[in-house]
Amino acid sequence: MRKLAISAIILLNTACVMAAPIMRVPNTASSRVIVNQLNLDYTSRTPEYIEFVYDEEAKQRLIDLGHENTSFFKKTTITNKNADEQFSELMRKDDLGIYHTYEEIVTELNDYASTYPGLAKVIQVGTTFEGRNIIGIEIGNQSNQDRVPFLVMGTHHAREWIASEVPMASVKDLLESYESDAQAKKIVDSSTIVYVPMLNIDGGIYSRNGSPMWRKNRNANNKGGVGVDNNRNYEYKWGVTGASSSPWSDTYKGEEPMSENENQAVESLYQKYKFKSSISFHSYSELVLWPWGYTSSIQCKDNEIFKKIGTGMGEIMGYRPMQSADLYPAAGDSDDYLYAKHGVLAYTIELGRRFVPSESKVPEINSKGSKALRYFFENARNPFEKVVENKEYKVLKSLEYTVYALERAEYDTQTLQDAYQKLATFTKQEIQTGMNTLKMKHRVKKHIEADLSTFERFKKHNQ
């Protein structure tokens, strides 16, 4: 697409980091421990394998910790001789080829708004650290009052270029087929869909302009380290797992929850639109993910609803649907936040098999992504309508709260006491059934049972 100036320095810069390969290792308990120990920049995880960037730093850490000759290292294979190759092919083109530059996104969204005045409206969502407008587009027939609000986001992570393409393709799909296609018309007439194709614009531009493997935003106010991982900065169980306190880390959670402009922008969008359902696009691994992301000790109380619609989208895309913490637990992501704080049916879709799939693969990913989104807009309109707040559901809620409280018990005993107080209002049988429904891990189950009987004994003693 359009011309983008790449300076000689930037090219030189790119050349310096060119040599790092991407390595793949089987996803076993022991390799997970080693990957975490080494603090490797993993680029993808599936239940079968983990891929990580094997740069000089990683190589050194592997040697320092004595893993050089272990079976871990022997089982690694190189999947991509050069992690940057996927980008450099495109960066040699003036305009990133089929991929959108930020300027192209802005131009295209403005063009849609002027071509489809009653159906599309450009919105300013917030301002980035480097002072750019976070741009979005609202799609929906403005003459209909009663519309269901959805949120579609792309590019929390700078290097995941394909994550902006599917939202852009879906906007095009719905607007251009509005007149000729009954399904598109129905969706646009009855929905308000807010698309933010590139949430992390500063990082997105930085990656596209010469530091392709950049992941975070470009916040430079962090003790010399640059960038916060926007998908670790949301305020729900912030920082408890799978996130770093070091400003130099790729998964840096930020100074405090919601400290980042991009995360605040999502919150203010929620306050304005009160979304029912949302999707955040990332890459890569071909997965459809949902809460909980912070813990794999339990499924969420609405797991069956997430699973049904997640599986539907997975079938269209040919992707595997699963709870995100079963892949790896990480706190502070957008799904946990939108679901826990605002009751949104919130998914993450990991697109493709590379951060930047080759140009020939993009049209198919876009078309499947647009189809999956149509399915989503039709099926996730009022996701919790059939939920009845009966005793069975209440016990699930209470168990969820207990697990939440348990994981912060170290510094907040009041919340835990509160949780047990509530849980103790249910019978042993109700609690057992609830634990089974949530597929609670054995260890946590035993912990709660033991705590609960201590709590009840304590209560009796004080009566």
**Three-class HEC string of 343-402:** CCEEEEEEECCCCCCCHHHHHHHHHHHHHHHHHHHHHCCCCCCCCCCCHHHHHHHHHHHH
Over the window 338 to 357, marking each residue x when it contacts ligand 0X9 by CB under 6 A and - when it does not, the resulting string is ----------x-x-------
Antiparallel, parallel or unpaired: β 42-45 and 320-323: unpaired
Q: Which of 73, 328, 375, 393 binds ligand 0X9 (CB under 6 A)?
A: 328
Out of Zn ion, ligand 0X9, none, which partner does residue 327 contact, by CB within 5 to 8 A per kind? ligand 0X9
Which of 165, 350, 400, 407 is catalytic? The answer is: 350
Q: How many binding residues for ligand 0X9 (CB under 6 A)?
A: 14
The rounded distance, in Å, linking the Cα atoms of 31 and 35 is 6
Query: Does residue 157 touch ligand 0X9 according to CB under 6 A?
Result: yes
Which parts of this chain interact with Zn ion (CB under 5 A)? 157, 160, 282
Query: Does residue 293 touch ligand 0X9 according to CB under 6 A?
Result: yes
The stretch among 76-84, 133-141, 321-329, 384-392 that binds ligand 0X9 (CB under 6 A) is 321-329
Query: Does residue 282 touch ligand 0X9 according to CB under 6 A?
Result: yes
The stretch among 82-90, 196-204, 326-334, 395-403 that binds ligand 0X9 (CB under 6 A) is 326-334
192 contacts 273 by C-beta, under 8 angstroms: yes
Name the minimum Å distance from CB 228 to Zn ion: 14
Q: Which of 333, 344, 354, 401 binds ligand 0X9 (CB under 6 A)?
A: 333
Two tokens, residue 148: 């269901």
Residues 200-259 that bind ligand 0X9 (CB under 6 A): 231
In this complex, which beta carbon is closest to ligand 0X9, that of residue 275 or of residue 284? 284
In this complex, which beta carbon is closest to ligand 0X9, that of residue 170 or of residue 324? 324
In this complex, which beta carbon is closest to Zn ion, that of residue 215 or of residue 368? 215
Out of ligand 0X9, Zn ion, none, which partner does residue 53 contact, by CB within 5 to 8 A per kind? none
In this complex, which beta carbon is closest to ligand 0X9, that of residue 270 or of residue 294? 294
The stretch among 30-38, 117-125, 325-333, 431-439 that binds ligand 0X9 (CB under 6 A) is 325-333
The stretch among 171-179, 265-273, 323-331, 445-453 that binds ligand 0X9 (CB under 6 A) is 323-331
Out of ligand 0X9, Zn ion, none, which partner does residue 293 contact, by CB within 5 to 8 A per kind? ligand 0X9
Q: Which of 40, 213, 279, 289 binds ligand 0X9 (CB under 6 A)?
A: 289
The rounded distance, in Å, linking the Cα atoms of 158 and 137 is 20
**Three-class HEC string of the chain:** CCCCCCCHHHHHHHHHCCCCCEEEEECCHHHHHHHHHCCCCEEEECCCEEEEECCHHHHHHHHHCCCCCCHHHHCCEEEECCCCHHHHHHHCCCCCCCCCCHHHHHHHHHHHHHHCCCCEEEEEEEECCCCCEEEEEEECCCCCCCCEEEEEEECCCCCCCHHHHHHHHHHHHHHHCCCCCHHHHHHHHHEEEEEECCCCHHHHHHHHCCCCCCCCCCCCCECCECCCCHHHCCCCCCCCCCCECCCCCCCECCCCCCCCHHHHHHHHHHHHHCCCEEEEEEECCCEEEECCCCCCCCCCCCHHHHHHHHHHHHHHHCCEEEEHHHCCCCCCCHHHHHHHHHCCEEEEEEECCCCCCCHHHHHHHHHHHHHHHHHHHHHCCCCCCCCCCCHHHHHHHHHHHHHHHHCCCCCCHHHHHHHHHHHCCCCHHHHHHHHHHCCCCHHHHHHHHHHHHHHHHHHHHHC
Q: Mark whether 103 is an active-site residue.
A: no
Out of ligand 0X9, Zn ion, none, which partner does residue 289 contact, by CB within 5 to 8 A per kind? ligand 0X9
Over the window 363 to 382, marking each residue x when it contacts ligand 0X9 by CB under 6 A and - when it does not, the resulting string is --------------------
Q: Which of 325, 362, 373, 405 binds ligand 0X9 (CB under 6 A)?
A: 325
Out of Zn ion, ligand 0X9, none, which partner does residue 278 contact, by CB within 5 to 8 A per kind? none
Pick left, alpha or beta for residue 133 (phi over 0 → left; psi -120 to 50 → alpha; otherwise beta). beta
In this complex, which beta carbon is closest to Zn ion, that of residue 339 or of residue 426? 339
Out of ligand 0X9, Zn ion, none, which partner does residue 328 contact, by CB within 5 to 8 A per kind? ligand 0X9
Name the minimum Å distance from CB 351 to Zn ion: 10
The stretch among 171-179, 322-330, 388-396, 411-419 that binds ligand 0X9 (CB under 6 A) is 322-330
Name the minimum Å distance from CB 79 to Zn ion: 18
Residues engaged in binding ligand 0X9 (CB under 6 A): 157, 160, 231, 282, 289, 293, 324-325, 327-328, 330, 333, 348, 350
Q: Which residues are catalytic?
A: 350
